[in-house]
Chain A
Amino acid sequence: MVDDNNAGRTLGMTAGEVQRTIRRLAIELVERLGDPSSFVLVGVVTGGASLARLLADEIGRVEHCCPTVGSVDITLYRDDLYTGLEKPVLGDTELPFEVGGAGIVLVDDVLFTGRTVRAALEELWDYGRPAWIKLAVLVDRGHRELPIAADFVGRCLATDRSDRVHVHFGDNGGVHIDSTAEAG
């Protein structure tokens, strides 16, 4: 929920809006891609992995058939590992299906510069040659630095380049935008 003590924080989406948007995205996915057994959801660790599981549950409720869910941790594929600061903590990549020939929906919570998506695509290619990959995101906050666009978008939010966008799922969740320019 909104933290009124922090002047630089604004509410992007309420918890209810996040839940409704996930429901809509799930329906859109099966509307456009068909049978849930014909594609897999791969979430980017950590936010995208949570969203992928929620989308799969929602699809299961509507279609009585869940798509397979996997996850990619892109840390070892990042292009900013040499900033001289602490190295990021590694997560798990789990792809419990044959990547070669698969139809993959890559899932992330926030689409920003596009660099994470680039890294995720490179990692998926090391596991095989998918038939196709589409991109689904909860929030598109703009400021792309690469020619990457999402196929399924929950909500477009206007942000400043320096803002930080936080997504939390669940009843007390929501999307919050921290404006570093105004903070302090």
Chain B
Amino acid sequence: MPGAERRPARRRRKDMLGLRGVTREEITQILETAARIRAVNRRKVKKVPTLRGRTVVSAFFENSTRTRMSFDLAAKRLSADVLGFSASSSSTRKGETLMDTARNIDAWRPDALIIRHPCAGAPHMLAKAFPWSVINAGDGIHEHPTQALLDMLTMRDHLGELDGKRVAIVGDVLHSRVARSNIFGLRTMGAQVVVAGPGTMCPRKLESLGVEVRHRIDEVVEDVDVIMMLRIQRERLGRAMMTGVAEYAGLYGLDTDRLARARPDVLVMHPGPINRGVEMTPDVADGDRSVVLEQVSNGLAVRMALLYLLLGEESGDARNG
């Protein structure tokens, strides 16, 4: 096979389970691939034959609409065959274990599994047990790497290199897999991260992740390049976590008054879906500093890039030329 010896024989990454431990070089490669591959989404024929004949299974054991649709669309734009099931309609309702479900999926010889699961570490367990690629679409309160990658791509589009940039993450950082993945990724890329939220959601121990911890949003809005508001996850919170949604909005919500004290070119981000009037007021969510919808389209690009980079094993020795 001519030329093969010129290429690095480095083993490619099989899975994307989280951003902890992923190198700066790799994150840069994913973001640059995403920035290029998104041109496909602007074409008349929004499909390339790259993953023709590959099978991608998406298994969502938690409710999700946009992440799941985004992954499905990403796989389809690359010509992969996609099939999915959700916990509500599957045999997990009948008591099947995750490993049994995975063994059944394995019997169909898939090339990749995209999994969202309420238990932290579920994707890691499957990645160890099976030969196909596993992409973590959110595991408990642990990680959600594609969300952080799309956030970083959106920041890069506006700010250039992330080195030295300052990012505020506001809300329930402790229970947010979006925040954790962003913290790992942003720190690796050389950005500074400051988190702000009530003590129950932003405990001091978060400092061990290399971030600054504040307890008032007003302490962080003024000198940052990005304000990332986290969704208040009512489904994950016990009653004791906060006194009330209205009080939270008053103390930690982003409104025009607070935004007016931020840098004029600050980026306002939110992983969606937005609780309007809670994390941010409608005029901020729809305002000119909000890049929420860019995040959604970059999500598609990042997921296409990951599928392109992760999928593939030996299937012939044909060379281009």
Contact = CB atoms under 8 A, between A and B. Distances in A.
Interface of A: 74, 76-87, 89-93, 110, 112-116, 119, 122-123, 126-128, 143, 145, 161-164, 180
A77 B49 contact: yes
A110 B321 contact: yes
Nearest to A75: B50
Nearest to A141: B321
B240 interface: no
A27 B86 CA distance: 62
30 contacts: A74-B320, A76-B40, A76-B78, A76-B308, A77-B49, A77-B50, A80-B318, A81-B50, A82-B311, A82-B314, A82-B315, A83-B314, A85-B4, A85-B10, A85-B12, A86-B8, A86-B10, A89-B33, A90-B32, A113-B320, A113-B321, A119-B320, A126-B45, A126-B47, A126-B48, A128-B44, A163-B2, A164-B2, A164-B3, A164-B6
Contacts of B251: none
Contacts, number: 95
A110 B39 CA distance: 26
A87 B316 contact: no
A115 B47 contact: no
Q: Bin chain B's interface residue count.
A: 35 or more
Interface in B302-321: 308-309, 311-321
A115 B319 contact: yes
Interface in B43-82: 43-45, 47-50, 78
Interface of B: 2-10, 12, 32-33, 36-37, 39-40, 43-45, 47-50, 78, 308-309, 311-321
Contact of B312 (A87, A163, A180): A87
A80 B37 contact: no
Contacts of B320: 74, 78-80, 113, 115-116, 119
B50 A90 contact: no
Given A80-B320, A85-B9, 19 more contacts: A77-B48, A83-B4, A83-B312, A83-B316, A83-B317, A84-B12, A85-B8, A86-B7, A86-B8, A87-B312, A90-B32, A90-B37, A91-B36, A93-B39, A115-B319, A115-B320, A126-B45, A126-B47, A180-B5
Q: Is the interface of B mostly helix, strand, loop or mixed?
A: loop
Contact of A115 (B36, B309, B321): B321
Contacts of A79: 316, 318, 320
A80 B8 contact: no
B2 A180 contact: yes
A103 B193 CA distance: 53
Contacts of B321: 110, 112-116, 143
A162 B5 CA distance: 11
A80 B316 contact: yes
Contacts of B309: 87
A95 to B, nearest CB: 9
Given A74-B320, A77-B48, A127-B44, A82 B313 contact: yes
Contacts of B43: 126-127
B236 to A, nearest CB: 36
A80 B319 contact: yes
Contacts of B2: 161-164, 180
B165 to A, nearest CB: 25
A86 B309 CA distance: 8
A161 B318 CA distance: 13
Between B78, B308, B317, B321, the greatest number of chain A beta carbons within 10 A of the residue's beta carbon is seen for B321
A82 B48 contact: no
Nearest to B48: A76
